[in-house]
Chains A and B, each alone.
Chain A
Amino acid sequence: MRIYRLSRWTALAATVASLLALAACGDGGEPVDVDATVVAAVSATVEARNTPDGEEPSTGDPSAVPVILETEASVSESNPLIVEVRIRTDIAAQVYVEYENGDAGRFRTATAALAKEHVVPVVRLRPDTEYSYDAFALGPGGKLSEVSSGTFETGKLPEALATIEHSTEGSSTSELLLLDYEDVLGSYIYALDSDANIVWYYASPNLVADQPYAINAVRQQDDYNLVYYMGRNRRPCCIREITPLGEIVDNLSYGDIDGLPHHDQLLIADREVMYLARIYEEVDDSANGGEEKVLVEGDSIRIWDRKTGTSSEVWNAFDMFSTDVRLTWETVPFYGVPGQPEREGEIIRWWNANSLQIGPRGNYVLSVKTLDQVISISPDLQHVEWVFGGPNGVYKFATPDDRFYLPHTASELSNGNILLFDNGQGRPEDEGGEYTRVVEFSLSEYDLAATKVWEYRPSPDLFSRTRGGAYRLKNGNTLVNFNTTPRVVVEVDRDGEELWRLEAWSPAYKGSYRAYALPSIMGETKQE
């Protein structure tokens, strides 16, 4: 596990950087609604939060037993589901908090580093709920203090989240579920516990008032920060890193230099983010009966180095694929294209990916929605290993019914199989019409055959016309998000049986992208 430790100065610098980045974000100087939490740099908390257990060298008398002089719990002003427990000890000590509610269970925070003054953030809390808590301090030699106890009560959810009706059947194998959520006024990331209670959320700020920026991929770092993409075709924005407390740590806005991020990003080594970015090239389409000069939209892969604040392109579709191979070739108005602030003119939509995954060999697997296909790029990004589905797919389907349409979240599993969310948009009637499923294929190099080896198709059918996704969990189950109304999230086992089903409905619901199984929000653990 990669441990990232922020110092006060880096935290402060990051905050300043985020402010600068935010100032650069937006369309043509449109007002930026910067959440107040951005500037609430709680550097001491950050430092404590990011110090792993036992790593801080002990100082002082190892036989000393710390005494907790004072504890105080208060609900965050910016988030009713985050509580800060202030702990003051007589000597420098490590501290942690255990907190409990009879219905929710008992949890323990991560252990904060040696200090006398601590602010321990407490997350995974249900709204409108009273919790008791016990604070503990550990001396330099590991001697445990006497417990200092108290209570706190969490606040109310924002109306947008409070009005979501969650209903479940069965049991999830995951303690937490992380969901993106877009309604008519805003977008959120929130976490549900196994009883379908919202226990954490982040309100993603609208860059233009009352205009929500859809949230696409959300990735959790080892230090529990989240990196997510917000924006949509007509309102592109940025990739952001936030802490679980809602602080914006870093931001990559679209622009001439960094391109137009969209849909998915991966966390790779050394604080690098690999992301999909749209690119545009002028091509001569006269051989296909088109015009001599048309502006075509494709995709690139870029890497954002957060250490240096720079990005670079490492792959692009125009280098690897011919625009003569096409499925989607539609003319659409420009939108938020770098160098085209007025968004005038038109482009040809040709090659758009919507997911990016690193396969078991270090290869890169992309689902390409405009070509109904999945591709694998070699680990060195120098060549395309295979193309599956679509007009130039190399693997043949056993039956036409196995074909997929508008795929999302394609991933290569550890056994080499390909799992994908098959939206089914445009599926011909003779192949079953428009319905959505999750399907796993085995790709045989022997005869270049694609064999369906597993499928989950709910009954009655659901049709997630856009968005949606599926991930294979470590236990072999599959977590699926249907962007339907109501939204449906299911965990299914290897036999395709639903173990758990969540339906979420809100009158303001606009859409959702993915669901993720989450072990922890901020390093807190459930106590048995």
Chain B
Amino acid sequence: MTRRFRLDLRFYILAVAVALVALACGGSDGSSASASPTETAVPSPTSTPEPAPGVVSASATLSEDNSLIARVEGVLDGPGQVYVEYWADGVGRLRTKTYDSDGTSFTVPVVRLRAETTYSFQAYGASPGGGKSEGPSGTFDTGHLPEVLAASKMDTLVGEPTLTLTFMEFRQAGFLGLAAYDSDGSIVWYFEAPNEEQPYVMALKPNGNILYIAGFQGGTTAMAVVEIDPLGVEQDRLVDECTPFGPIHHELLVLEDGRVMYLSREILRPGYGDPIMPQEGDTIGIWDQAAGTNEIVWSALDFIDPSERTVPESNRRLPGFPLWGGCDRDGDVQDWTHADSLSMAEDGSVLIGLRNLDQIVAIAPDFKSILWRLGGPGGEFTFTDPTDKFYRPHSVVALPNGNVLLFDNGNHRPGEEGGEYSRGIELALDMDNMTARKVWEYRLQPDMFAPCCSSVTRLENGNTLVMYGSNFVPEATRPYLVIESDRRGGAAWAAEHTSPGKPNQYRVYPADSIMGEGPVFAR
């Protein structure tokens, strides 16, 4: 996930750089809007190297399909570029990215809007050289949120986040989709999935588009991998026909070359054990959208023996619920490895988190060998302190320094190691002595135990977003904690998300923009 974030940030830094050049036109619009000093700001233009087209007309309309997406349409006096600034009471001034006109007509999508709010906007003409012209202004009202989203909350408990947006999945009766909160706890973007698909894993692409796994019913296996743009318009779709690639589950990783790595599964038959049972082993696949290809590049069954397992986790079988079971969702298949995350290291090796083996495996860049195994049966590292061991992890991240970051759910952690509690933990690996030791952790006080799901994300500033995505509180009030922890394990920001009826929170995704928009400093 860190990898994805880094790619996204790179893109955004590039976008900001382009904006700096393109919008270096100066001037003030007299807005009194302010922005948080922690937000990445789009500087106001300071000069006009070449004339920008004039904006003849501009009017705003709200999307018929989404109450938080507007578009400003209008006419320029000549072909060129245009952007829109928009603001509301209590909401900082934001600016869209710059769009090319279509002849003299233009349409600028406006996102990151709060519900039931009156926004003011002003259109600006722009030139590739940085010219700017002030255009007409106006207002528009956003609509109501879907009922489930309206009932949800993201209450800040302390501090403020480094990145102002938090994406997450909503997978509950009444709403199946994705949404993003701003730092004030307002939902400012959402996407409701079609066809009763249940998005539960997403990845932000460098172009701002979003990939998600369209979960099948209540399970984690996929109907498809779908790419949408921030307006919710489908751009691409890999139908999970299962054989021979599926079922896709749990992870999407956008690689630097644009390909999409995912987790899938294959079944070992007749299997293992007494009585012998089919075993579900995880695989890694790569979807190359540009080439239109899709292939499985690695299988746990080629490298790990099914005798290496934990009990009862590796013996768990597919319930009637369509969680696992291969393409046939076979109820006799045992959930041997249960991978739930992928991460690519700086050297091109791939980490896979095998939850049911309490293990992280490093796979060589060519996928032809295993480099090391950390934790669980067959683990090659000694934990210098037994309390550094992790149990049933989620969200494994390869850090640039070679360390491994993960969410240690802690299911069935032995009492002598502290019992069942959850934490984010960073482990340093000594490859000479094959030892592992904790170098950072975030652990709530008092402890919280998240038996499932949950995520960790290392931010560029070294902070870590830790999300506790499961607990035993009744669904009507079940809280999910999101904490941005600093390097010392303190909480720079903490928020509590609730959405009555939401059974769990698989991950959250920090971001600073939805569609290239950004805050405008006061001028």
Contact = CB atoms under 8 A, between A and B. Distances in A.
A415 interface: yes
A383 B415 CA distance: 9
Contact of A380 (B311, B323, B414, B475): B414
Nearest to A395: B472
Contacts of A476: 275
Q: Is the interface of B mostly helix, strand, loop or mixed?
A: loop
Interface stretch (A19-27, A92-100, A333-341, A444-452): A444-452
A476 B317 CA distance: 14
Nearest to B220: A446
Contacts of A396: 475, 503
A426 interface: no
Tell me whether chain A's interface is mostly helix, strand or loop, or mixed. loop
A179 B334 CA distance: 34
Interface string B423-462: 0000000000000000000000000000111000000000
Nearest to A476: B275
A449 B503 contact: yes
A444 B415 contact: no
A62 to B, nearest CB: 39
A379 B414 contact: yes
B321 A449 contact: yes
Interface in B494-512: 503-504
Contacts of B331: 453
Interface in A396-411: 396, 398
Contacts of B503: 396, 446-449
B453 A416 contact: no
A379 B415 contact: yes
A332 interface: no
Interface in A426-443: 442
B315 A360 contact: yes
Contacts, number: 92
A382 to B, nearest CB: 5
A453 B315 contact: no
Contact of B312 (A382, A416, A475): A416
B275 A447 contact: no
Contacts of A360: 311-312, 315
B312 A378 contact: no
B27 interface: no
Contact of B420 (A378, A394, A414, A442): A378
B470 to A, nearest CB: 7
Interface size for chain A: under 10, 10 to 19, 20 to 34, or 35 or more residues?
20 to 34
Given A360-B311, A442-B316, A444-B323, A380 B415 contact: yes
Interface residues on B, range: 20 to 34
A276 B78 CA distance: 86
B311 A414 contact: yes
Given A360-B312, A449-B321, A451-B320, A383 B472 contact: no
Contacts of B311: 360-361, 414
A414 B312 contact: yes
A383 B452 CA distance: 18
A361 B315 CA distance: 12
Given A394-B472, A442-B317, A476-B275, A361 B220 contact: no
A359 B411 CA distance: 15
B312 A413 contact: yes
Contacts of B275: 475-476
A413 B273 CA distance: 14
A382 B415 contact: yes
Interface in A141-195: none
Nearest to A475: B275
Interface string B304-321: 000000011101111111
B412 interface: yes
A417 interface: yes
A255 B416 CA distance: 33
Contact of A385 (B319, B420, B475): B420
Nearest to A452: B320
A412 interface: yes
Nearest to A396: B475
Given A442-B316, A449-B321, A415 B412 contact: no
A115 B315 CA distance: 48
Given A380-B419, A415-B315, A448 B323 contact: no
B218 interface: yes
Contacts of A444: 319, 321, 323
B415 A378 contact: yes
Interface in B471-523: 472, 475, 503-504
Contacts of A452: 320
A4 to B, nearest CB: 27
Nearest to B451: A445
Given A396-B475, A414-B312, A383 B319 contact: no
A463 interface: no
Contacts of A361: 311-312, 412
A500 interface: no
A386 interface: yes
The 4 A-B pairs at the shortest CB distance, nearest first, are namely A380-B415, A442-B319, A416-B312, A447-B503
Interface of B: 218, 220, 275, 311-313, 315-321, 323, 331, 334, 411-412, 414-416, 419-420, 451-453, 470, 472, 475, 503-504
Given A360-B315, A442-B321, 9 more contacts: A379-B414, A416-B312, A445-B411, A446-B220, A446-B453, A448-B470, A449-B319, A449-B321, A453-B319
